Each structure stands twice: as structure tokens, then as C-alpha cells.
Structure 1
């Protein structure tokens, strides 16, 4: 192959990559605008960022506490109970064994809770738009019932995370509920509602926020946060989560990224509303292994 042809192919690949990123940015911003169930910072929830968390050596479970108070000062729990997707989401959080290697046993009641959650999401404009986009991209079936099955397989189908045990994990458990690995490491737990409820009952301890640099320190009105915390006697040196967004927004966003790539790890940098985010999704066969946002910067901090 000649140098000229190789160069032209490279330009073509770059063009398609830029087009794909632009297309993804547009759909993610659209579902952001459609997320009417998103809670408002300062009104529906109030956080206290406090100090910037320090460095934790690999394998250590000690972190200096730079946040003596909880992260959440207030959350409007009436909305968690009255908005259907939140209500059904919260009902799922006690359905899992946190330790990998311990087989999950899904009861008929829990299966019904999973279906109720998916059904409630499908009633929202967020998920309707995500479905429409994925059908247009030929990644999802047009039949809503078949799409629900696809969502179930992506998020709730059990698989082996610890190969020595039974089916001990699924995408929903890892991302939204959290897991521990051999009692030595926190995995997942990237959801603000779960974090709030665990913190409310004294099960997690917020240690402080994590910022890339002084120019990009978070704001208490931000909808994305990088943070450090402890849970079950373990420390997560760097975690990340959206704040205030609805469950359907997160499921829709990460489902889109998952289905638009066949790579084991997909990492895209997009600007959603005022936030420049790195969105990361790991594949576990036909299901999500993990997914999370990283806040890179926001427009009121020298974008």
C-alpha cells in the first residue's frame, strides 16, 4: 500500500471517528435535556464538598478524612418515593450479595422488581429517545418488548465476575449497587442515590472530592463528582458518579455507549451540557462489566 493511500485511509478513519463522536455528543445532550426527573442542586439536594482528598497508596485501606461531615446535607426523599423510576430503582438496591464469589439467587419477587424498573424507564422520554436512536443505528430492535429484553440482558443478566464461584454479578449490581472483591477492594458503586442511602445509614464515609488540578475543583452545583470514600472497611481512592440525574438517564447513556462499540473497553470524551466528561464502559460478553463518568472540567472553571 502506498504512503498516499495509507494517509488517505487514516484521514478517512479520523473523519468517521469525529463524526461518530459528534453524533454521540448530540444524542447524549438530547437525553440530558429530556431528563425532567433530574433533581435540582441546591433545591432537591444539597451537598457539602469540604476538602480535597489525598493520595492513597495501592492496596492501602487507610485514607485521611478531609470531609468530617457527610457529602449529602439534604435530599428530597419525597421525589425518590413519588417518581416511579426512582421508586423502582431503590427497590433493587437490597437484592444483591456484595461480595464477589458468592452466587446470586434471584427470587421471583426480585425478577418482578427488575421488570417493573425497566417498564418504568420505558415510559420516560429519556429512554424512548435512546431507543429511537439505537433503532436508527441498527443496534436495537424496534419492538419495545424486545428492547426491554435487550436492556435486561445488558444490565441484569447474571455472569461470573469471580471465576472460582457461581454467577455472582451483573452490570446493575456492579455499577449502581457496588461490590467488594475478596474483602480487599471496592468495585463499582457509581450511583448517587445508593451513595446517599448508604451514607444516611452510616455505611459509607465520604473522605473528600478529587480534582484534576486547582483550576478544575468541583462546584456544589455540579452534576458530576470525582470522590474518595470508604465502605465495608475498605477505601476507594478514586470513585466517580453523576449527581441528581435520574436512573433512566444513566441507564440510557451507558446503554448507548455499550451498544455503539464492540470493544472490551470503550472510552469517549464528550461535552454534555456544561461538563466535559470521559465516559467509560467495560464489556463483559453481552453485558456491561462496569461503566462510569469522569469529570474532566466544566464551563464555569476555565473551559
Structure 2
């Protein structure tokens, strides 16, 4: 695994590629904002080194659960799944955020002030997990400026996951990568669920009796699955998620792919069961985050979506590649922090 993945400076735009159901591999696709054109330049990293980082994050994810999903009944998850898992600090804070989004008593819509408080509490726990401590340490090896201290790192994670933006130029301010991936959104034009790629959220909705699974059309592996369902009258023909992994692992891996392999570069790694993963990032144009004015502002650009798709199992894979620091190469200026949300002051 000595192949080099090089992400060089480029300008690219386009629409999200269609799902390739016939291809048997793991794909993680990121859409950054809406119609975003990006000029990016990130240092190279070898496939071996990337795999080593993923393996170290996986080993640090001691909160991971081994769940056996039941795809033949109305209940997908084992009984009391969340009861056994909700005492984990990041999960506890995540569930508190879920409750804000699902508060039916909120007459004036989402309580943004309370949400900001809960997000800050969640981030506090998140960046202090073993998984995120390792992620920050690894990013330091590649001279990522925001990894130098916890405060800057927290702001960076907030920027790409929680910074609010419009999905459409005529839409409302309020969407975010976190909301799209961990909460789910409604596409009024297609009457479908948009996003929602987190197993904890699915389990939460299942316990509330809010989700109805369709006859099984997907596939399941030990740590990843696809499902078809209806939620609040809206359908999701194809939804994918990691299974049993912690919020910190999912956000760390997605962040890692986003940083090192944006655009059409392939982000490849294996899970411990040797399931292969490929990742594609595709920045699109959004006037809120116009990097033509600041081509090195990737740290400020939020994700639009991130999700896994099941892939083949690689025989005799070497999951635990030894980490070898990358050779020093030129790293571009990453811009400043003038656009940081006021949540962190």
C-alpha cells in the first residue's frame, strides 16, 4: 500500500455523481455547501499512512458497539440499544441535541440559542475523546494549523460541521453539515428525506415510533448498513450509515477524508473486518463560501454531506499498517479565522 494520493490545486464544479449500486465498494461522498467551486491545495499523504491513521482512530473507539440488526421486522435495532449506550459523554450530548430538533412544543421553530449551548457542550466532550485527541495529533504531523491547540481545533470542527448556511440561494439560513448527516432534512421538491446517516439517530427515531422501514432492499455488514424507510411521510429509498461506531469516530474519519482528499480524489481505507472504503469529495458553488476570494480557505468551508456505502471485503488485508510520518512538503497558507462563528467568541 505505497500508492500516493495527491490532492493538487484545482478549480472544479459539478453535480453529485449518481449512486453506483453495481460497484461493490465502500464510498464516502461529501458535498460541500451548494454549487461550491473550490480552489484547494493539500499536501500529499500515502494510502499506507492514511490507513494507519484510520486504524489508530478505530482502536481508540472503545465506545463502539457490536449490534446485530434485524432486517425482517419493524424494529431494526436490538431492544434498549440507546439505554445501554446513552451514558457515553458524546452520545449523551448528541441525544440532547436531537431533543431540541424534535421539540414539538417549540412554537417559533428551532430554539437556536439553546442549540448553540448544546452544540458547545457536545464539542467540548468531542474534542477531548481519545479518538479526537489522536486525530489532532495526526493532523499536527501534516502541519494543519488548526490542530496546534484544542481551542483552535474546536473552532475548526465547528466551522466544517456546525457553521450554518443556506442549502439553496433562496433558502433559509439554518442548514449545517451536522444537521444534514446526524439529524436529517426534508427535500420538499422530491418529498424525500435528505441526509440522515447516523445509526444513533435511527435508533432514537425508532424508539419514538417515528420511522417505518420498507421491505429490506439494502445490505448489511458488521459495521455498515443501508436501509429504505419513511419518516414523517417522506421516503428515503437508499440510506446508509455506520453501525455501532461512536459519533467521534464518524466525525473524525469524515473530517480526515475531507481535509486530505477533497474534490474527486479517492479516499481509500479499510475497517477492521477488511471492508474496503473509497471516498469522494465534491465541492460545489455557494456564494457564502467563495474561495475564489480566498483560495486557501478550506478550513472555513462546511461539509454538505458525508456517508458510507458498503463495499467488498479484502482478503488478507493489513488493517494495522504502521504509521510512518509523511516527508516534509510545502503546505499552503490556510487563511485566517476571521469568519469563525460568534458561538466561540
8 Å CA contact 1:31, 1:129 repeated in 2: yes
Aligned to 1:32, the other structure's residue is in SS state helix
In structure 2, C-alpha distance between the alignment counterparts of 1:209 and 1:298, rounded to whole Å = 21
Aligned to 1:278, the other structure's residue is in SS state strand
Query: Would the alpha carbon gap of residues 126 and 283 (structure 1) be closer, same or farther in structure 2, given more than 3 Å must change?
Result: farther
In structure 2, C-alpha distance between the alignment counterparts of 1:97 and 1:283, rounded to whole Å = 30
Displacement of 1:69: 2.2
Query: Would the alpha carbon gap of residues 97 and 196 (structure 1) be closer, same or farther in structure 2, given more than 3 Å must change?
Result: closer
Moved more, 86-95 or 142-151: 86-95
Q: Partner residue of 2:159?
A: 153
In structure 1, C-alpha distance between the alignment counterparts of 2:242 and 2:63, rounded to whole Å = 14
Q: Partner residue of 1:186?
A: 193
Q: Write out aligned runs for 1:89-100 (5 A).
A: 89-96=94-101
Moved more, 247-256 or 18-27: 18-27
Q: Partner residue of 1:218?
A: 220
Greater helix proportion: 1
Q: Deviations over 1:97-156 (max 9, x none)?
A: 89xxxx985533221111111111122110000111112212333111010000111111
Q: Partner residue of 1:126?
A: 131
Q: Write out aligned runs for 1:283-302 (5 A).
A: 283=283, 285=289, 286-298=301-313
Displacement of 1:282: 4.8
Unaligned runs of 5+ in 2: 7-43, 290-300, 316-345
8 Å CA contact 1:141, 1:147 repeated in 2: yes
Q: Partner residue of 1:206?
A: 213
In structure 2, C-alpha distance between the alignment counterparts of 1:202 and 1:281, rounded to whole Å = 34
TM-score (norm 2): 0.67
Displacement of 1:272: 1.7
Q: Partner residue of 1:48?
A: 70
Q: Partner residue of 1:196?
A: 203
Q: Partner residue of 2:247?
A: 247
Q: Partner residue of 2:58?
A: 32
Query: Would the alpha carbon gap of residues 178 and 94 (structure 1) be closer, same or farther in structure 2, given more than 3 Å must change?
Result: same
Higher RCO (Cα < 8 Å, 6 or more apart): 2
Unaligned runs of 5+ in 1: 1-11, 51-67, 212-216
Q: Deviations over 1:226-269 (max 9, x none)?
A: 22111122221111001111111111111111111342x56523
Displacement of 1:181: 1.2
Query: Would the alpha carbon gap of residues 133 and 16 (structure 1) be closer, same or farther in structure 2, given more than 3 Å must change?
Result: same
Displacement of 1:22: 2.5
Displacement of 1:297: 2.4
In structure 1, C-alpha distance between the alignment counterparts of 2:117 and 2:83, rounded to whole Å = 23
Aligned to 2:71, the other structure's residue is in SS state coil
Greater strand proportion: 1
2:289 equivalent to 1:272: no
Q: Partner residue of 1:257?
A: 257
In structure 2, C-alpha distance between the alignment counterparts of 1:76 and 1:92, rounded to whole Å = 18
1:113 to 87, 105, 118: 118
Q: Write out aligned runs for 1:72-91 (5 A).
A: 72-91=77-96
In structure 2, C-alpha distance between the alignment counterparts of 1:97 and 1:167, rounded to whole Å = 18
Query: Would the alpha carbon gap of residues 47 and 124 (structure 1) be closer, same or farther in structure 2, given more than 3 Å must change?
Result: same
Q: Partner residue of 2:26?
A: none
In structure 2, C-alpha distance between the alignment counterparts of 1:97 and 1:163, rounded to whole Å = 26
CA RMSD of aligned residues (A): 2.7
